[in-house]
Chain A
């Protein structure tokens, strides 16, 4: 059985895929926060990104500096094949468990 990723990391990886060439910590956060209405803590985000990179699921490289960043370079993230595999595996597993349950779940929430 291959590797999988936790829920938070799935959100990050999906954001990286969606943002394509423009995936930085700032844009990833913005994407997740606007789509899911969840507040992301900086510490958690950077830690997760580091771990994903350590496991080989994403790769990072330096980008262009901008004036708004005080002349500091960005860090751009791209998804790796291993990361795409892990993301697919985790998401499909969740989908299989959730399959057909959405209606019943609605009924349990008061």
Chain B
């Protein structure tokens, strides 16, 4: 089969050569290809030959182009290694040309080096962009360091006295703050909201924010079309609906229609007039908003509730006011608020605090995870550098002749070091450029793997983490970081060999035998051994970190959650209050349950309020009618879940005592509740809860209901968080317009979900159904931080292990080669093959063992930084340490096996004769 010259190579030459040269040179190559090369070897080898020629010509052309000498100096001989005297600029250019030539002449080494560097630098760049976006980059608002979050503080009931929890504002309390504060130039309330957009096409669930009119001004954002909310629209509650849309929504749903202003859209059935469009990329402080509605569209009754805490507050410091001053001013303001609107039970003292936006950016655990990953990937690069240094040292051994000649002809040692460093810099530069491509690819990949928006809802940092995630990008800071890493890397792996190589003793080398060998066991070898010890130690540290994190993931997956996640799918539903009154919403859910239960493959279905491991649920105060009243402010907290009779069966929650709800527990009948184990244990200490009465602060259950059953605890908040007291009340006795449809089936979700959607659409065509997830996905979302850290650490540890093994192999192979004569002598004196084998293996094991011991020490010291990220595993877990150390030792054994085998194949006669 006749092959053709590779077209890419031809194209490359066409780009590089002037037209007349291109024709003749490519013609030459083709002639040689067809006549001298192709008839004799395989097509693959022929193409490889062609590429080698192309690279040689291309490199020569590039080098020639880069220097434009007025005349050609006499000693310009392409094969002469002698450097020229001349100006510094010319010297540097020469260094570069010589370096490129040297590298091109050793393509395998250059390829290995560039690939190693590309992977190492690329991984570091990728993780850095994550750290940059989450922690370092300024938030995308005007002068973000002036912005602060202002929180109310309430005593934390779950903690000892004096500990406060951050909470949100009520409007009347905010009014007190607004009227009395002196330190902020701008401030505004905001909260997240969700609406169903109906009317123009598919019903869609939109996320948005309800904001005070000064919100955008505080952040420094202006609408690109239309206007912001005015202060007139910030005065009295109950105004007509107006809305600002996000840029993406405007494009996606309204086709970027310039006449959008003045159009009326229906949000959850309520008409809103569009008054403005906000800039692209702005998603509010919650990080996911697409619509913005003024605070004053809320009804007066709801807004003026002193104890309805619903709003976050953001504020911008006045110029000249420091962070300290603002914080102490807010503490005082907190006391004023408490004095103006005191706790009616006269018990708790509320307060307030301010926190800069920068400090609120990210969950401390996420911050720590990001920094750990940065450290880990730095280690991998370090190990890669060590390998490269070793590789270069090995090459330096064969270049000693060249070095000696150049020293003899008058080149200074500094010049030589500079020459070698130039090679390293060029390698690092090429690696950095390739690394940027690797990083770009990794970031795109990671974007697909990062968790969905909804899971960070309940954390303190609400949306800022999401805002941070949206900043992940390859920008100038990242490029500077990459350049710095490349330069540092070049120095790390280049300086040592350069310094070493330039220190050759001239006379010894000139007299050396033809193979140019270094004396066996010379100084060079022990430096390399030291490097391997370092590599092995670092590899072990990474392995241990990965091992601990993977165990944490395993422990998370084995945690008893209190229900059966397999086969369970959740459909969050939210009925608009304007269209559905109480009776109608209950009717809707019951009808839906009947229809879904009738679908083939559905084993059970029910209505519940919240999904497990999704950030928690409702909570209220529990009272006990018939018992002496508890001191005000001391009533225990309890979660409230609306439920249909089949909820426990559908979720797979075990009924421990008593009974679950039935259809007889409907309105008009005596009210009943089911509580969980923790509620039974903590609220009814010692007594049997069944038959007792408990009152709940929600759902119309204030007067108390009878406890009829106890169920197993379900972890609603997070996988790691133990369940708290929960109570379930029948949907039939208390209506609810929003909740979750749970469906347990044997069907594949891809088949089940459309079927259920169809049933929902039959009952209400306009009801949007979004965020449908299987419990498996929810579990994944809940554990994303640990799983992602574990996966990445595992990847890095694997890389480190591979690199360390390669490094050890390289050193052992080199050592065997250099000691060929010694081995020959030993064999001639009677040593058996297995003795030689043992000799090599023992040496390798000695090096590895030292490295492992150092690694164990390093691990014990450093793993405590991981402690807060781990789950149910100790940072100095001896089993993990032992297993991984043994594993590493095994890999080192494997790596030294081949050189040891090769050593046994040395023929004593030829090795002694070859001198």
A3 to B75, CA, bound (A): 11
Task: Name the interface residues of B21-37: CB closer than 8 Å to any CB of A.
Answer: 21, 23-32, 34-35
Chain B nearest Cβ from A60, distance in angstroms? 8
Chain A nearest Cβ from B28, distance in angstroms? 5
Do most interface residues of chain B lie in helix, strand or loop, or is the interface mixed?
Answer: helix
On whether the beta carbons of A43 and B23 are closer than 8 Å, the reply is no
Of the residues B24, B35, B61, B80, contact of A6 by C-beta under 8 Å: B80
Q: Given the complex, which residues of A lie within 8 Å of B29, measured CB to CB?
A: 42
Of the residues B24, B59, B60, B75, contact of A72 by C-beta under 8 Å: B24
Of the residues A48, A51, A69, contact of B30 by C-beta under 8 Å: A69
A6 to B78, CA, bound (A): 9
On whether the beta carbons of A46 and B25 are closer than 8 Å, the reply is yes
**B64 contacts the other chain (CB 8 A):** yes
**A93 contacts the other chain (CB 8 A):** no
A47 to B64, CA, bound (A): 8
On whether the beta carbons of A42 and B57 are closer than 8 Å, the reply is yes
Against B, the Cβ 8 Å flags (1 = close, 0 = not) of A81-110 are 000000000000000000000000000001
Chain A nearest Cβ from B511, distance in angstroms? 11
**B582 contacts the other chain (CB 8 A):** no
Q: Given the complex, which residues of B lie within 8 Å of A3, measured CB to CB?
A: 74
A46 to B18, CA, bound (A): 13
**B44 contacts the other chain (CB 8 A):** no
A66 to B30, CA, bound (A): 11
Chain B nearest Cβ from A58, distance in angstroms? 14
On whether the beta carbons of A48 and B78 are closer than 8 Å, the reply is yes
On whether the beta carbons of B23 and A72 are closer than 8 Å, the reply is yes
Q: Known: A6-B80, A44-B60. Is A72-B27 also a contact (CB below 8 A)?
A: yes
A42 to B28, CA, bound (A): 10
**A24 contacts the other chain (CB 8 A):** yes
A98 to B139, CA, bound (A): 76
A48 to B56, CA, bound (A): 13
**B591 contacts the other chain (CB 8 A):** no
A47 to B97, CA, bound (A): 14
On whether the beta carbons of A68 and B30 are closer than 8 Å, the reply is yes
Q: Known: A4-B74, A47-B64, A55-B72. Is A73-B24 also a contact (CB below 8 A)?
A: yes
A68 to B37, CA, bound (A): 12
Of the residues A42, A50, A69, A75, contact of B56 by C-beta under 8 Å: A42
A47 to B21, CA, bound (A): 11
Task: Name the interface residues of B17-68: CB closer than 8 Å to any CB of A.
Answer: 21, 23-32, 34-35, 53, 56-61, 64
**A25 contacts the other chain (CB 8 A):** yes
Chain A nearest Cβ from B503, distance in angstroms? 27
**A37 contacts the other chain (CB 8 A):** no
Q: Known: A4-B74, A6-B76, A51-B72. Is A69-B53 also a contact (CB below 8 A)?
A: no
Task: Name the interface residues of A4-19: CB closer than 8 Å to any CB of B.
Answer: 4, 6-9
Chain A nearest Cβ from B913, distance in angstroms? 13
Chain A nearest Cβ from B33, distance in angstroms? 9
Q: Known: A42-B57, A43-B60, A55-B72. Is A25-B25 also a contact (CB below 8 A)?
A: yes
On whether the beta carbons of B60 and A26 are closer than 8 Å, the reply is no
Instruction: Report which residue of B26, B35, B79 has the largest number of chain A beta carbons within 10 angstroms of its beta carbon.
Output: B79
| A interface size (C-beta, 8 A) | 31
On whether the beta carbons of A72 and B77 are closer than 8 Å, the reply is no
A51 to B74, CA, bound (A): 12
Chain B nearest Cβ from A56, distance in angstroms? 11
On whether the beta carbons of B61 and A43 are closer than 8 Å, the reply is yes
Q: Given the complex, which residues of A lie within 8 Å of B26, measured CB to CB?
A: 70, 72
On whether the beta carbons of A43 and B80 are closer than 8 Å, the reply is no
On whether the beta carbons of A7 and B79 are closer than 8 Å, the reply is yes
A48 to B76, CA, bound (A): 10
On whether the beta carbons of B78 and A8 are closer than 8 Å, the reply is yes
Chain A nearest Cβ from B13, distance in angstroms? 11
Chain A nearest Cβ from B100, distance in angstroms? 11
On whether the beta carbons of A6 and B75 are closer than 8 Å, the reply is yes
Q: Given the complex, which residues of A lie within 8 Å of B35, measured CB to CB?
A: 68
Instruction: Report which residue of A44, A51, A72 has the largest number of chain B beta carbons within 10 angstroms of its beta carbon.
Output: A72
A109 to B56, CA, bound (A): 33
Q: Given the complex, which residues of A lie within 8 Å of B64, measured CB to CB?
A: 47, 50
Q: Given the complex, which residues of A lie within 8 Å of B32, measured CB to CB?
A: 26
Chain B residue at smallest Cβ distance from A110: B514
Q: Given the complex, which residues of B lie within 8 Å of A68, measured CB to CB?
A: 30-31, 34-35
Of the residues B30, B72, B79, contact of A54 by C-beta under 8 Å: B72
Against A, the Cβ 8 Å flags (1 = close, 0 = not) of B131-168 are 00000000000000000000000000000000000000
A7 to B32, CA, bound (A): 25
Chain B nearest Cβ from A102, distance in angstroms? 21
A65 to B107, CA, bound (A): 34
On whether the beta carbons of A24 and B80 are closer than 8 Å, the reply is no
On whether the beta carbons of A26 and B31 are closer than 8 Å, the reply is yes
Of the residues A9, A25, A41, contact of B28 by C-beta under 8 Å: A25
A64 to B205, CA, bound (A): 74
Chain B nearest Cβ from A43, distance in angstroms? 3
- 8 closest A-B pairs (Cβ-Cβ)? A43-B60, A72-B27, A6-B77, A75-B24, A43-B56, A69-B27, A44-B78, A42-B56
Can you offer 12 A-B residue contacts whose CB atoms are under 8 A? Answer: A8-B78, A42-B53, A42-B56, A42-B60, A44-B60, A47-B60, A47-B78, A69-B28, A69-B31, A70-B26, A73-B27, A75-B28
